[in-house]
Amino acid sequence: MNTSINSYVGIDVSKDSFDVCVLPEKKFFKLKQDVSGRRELVSHLPSPGDCLIAVEATGGYERLLVAELVDAGHHVAVVNPRQVRNFAKGVGILAKTDRIDASVLARFAHDVQPRCLGQTTEKQGQLEQLVVRRRQLVGLRTAEKNRMETVTAKPVRKSLQQTIDHLNKQIQRIDKEILALVESHDEWRDKTNLIQSVPGIGPVAGASLVAELPELGQLNRQQIASLVGVAPMNRDSGRFRGQRAISGGRTSLRNVLYMAALTARRYNPVIRAFADRLAAHGKKAKVILTACMRKLLVILNTMVKNNTQWNPQSN
């Protein structure tokens, strides 16, 4: 626990406004979600470094607010809404309003002490948004390809193909933007080169890890696995021993690691040997792949921490 923290702030963000609760003063106020509202918020908050601010991830509405708070020197944690809702139920708060949600977030900040964001540059935000946009375009393309398999009418197939071609061009354009942005930043370029030296990690996975996992190389193996959501969780009670399963974390990064692990399972000698050992012990295919995701992440974390290229002899 950070002993310099004296106040805890919960901010419930919506499209047009945000509700704020400051503890222990139990001060509440509501502001507009615009430049003047965000500026006024900063004037109402305790001094930077004296408070911990919790904000729910709300699909992007919180991005500008969080960036400005971090730039001002505040400790800010962007937290999982489901985790906060479970916390509220656990302390007996079942009602849900914007004001209540803000107070729950403030209590969550006090009791849980969630991990704070590091300083986010403008380029970091651009890279993250480009990676997210690419993922959206790929999802749209996949949906159109799936529709193509079920239709026979030529006009419909022609329309689908035109959309797919357009999406392909959009994805190629985004890929060029991502590559140019990574190349323009020395630290990102070096980190991406390290990451992509691992068999199974391509340009898309490398850019995604740089954009959405800036903590890579800064945490230990248990912490990084838990942060991404590839650490198996126990489900035991008394004599009952439940099946271990992964939970929480950053879903988008797990999807990236899943595809990378599929490739590494075939072409990375270390991951392939690891998977073969698990298979020889009778582990299920899904368990093996999840374990490969975790091992791949741990290898990447160690490489970035030590600033070393891929070496199969040391993994």
pLDDT at 234 over 60: no
Q: Which bin fits 267, alpha (ψ -120 to 50), beta or left (φ > 0)?
A: alpha
* Amino acid identity, position 21: C
| 253 vs 162, more confident | 162
pLDDT at 52 over 80: yes
% of the chain residues with pLDDT over 70: 91
- Separation of alpha carbons 103 and 101, rounded Å: 5
Please give the pLDDT value at position 240.
45
- Please name the residue that has the structure tokens 């994805």: 171
CATH classification (class only), 7-112: alpha beta
Please give the pLDDT value at position 239.
55
HSE-CB at 150 with a 13 A cutoff on CA atoms is: 5
Q: Cα–chain-centroid distance for residue 259?
A: 16
Mean of pLDDT values over 254-281: 92
Cis check for the bond before 24: say yes or no (omega within 30 of 0): yes
Per-residue pLDDT tens over the stretch 274-307: 999 999 999 999 889 999 999 999 999 999 999 8
How far lies 255's CA from each of 140, 234, 252, in Å? 16, 22, 5
- Separation of alpha carbons 261 and 205, rounded Å: 11
Per-residue pLDDT tens over the stretch 108-145: 999 998 888 765 556 777 888 898 899 999 999 999 99
Per-residue pLDDT tens over the stretch 4-22: 788 999 999 988 899 999 9
What does the domain layout of the chain look like in residue ranges?
A: 7-112, 122-184, 205-314
- Separation of alpha carbons 126 and 144, rounded Å: 27
Q: What are phi and psi of 53, to 5 degrees?
A: -110, 130
Stretch (H or E) spanning 28: strand 27-32
Residue 249's pLDDT band, with cuts at 50, 70 and 90, is low
Contact 84, 57 (CB under 8 A): no
What's the pTM?
0.65
How far lies 190's CA from each of 30, 183, 193, 303, in Å? 44, 9, 5, 12
Please give the pLDDT value at position 223.
85
* Amino acid identity, position 77: A
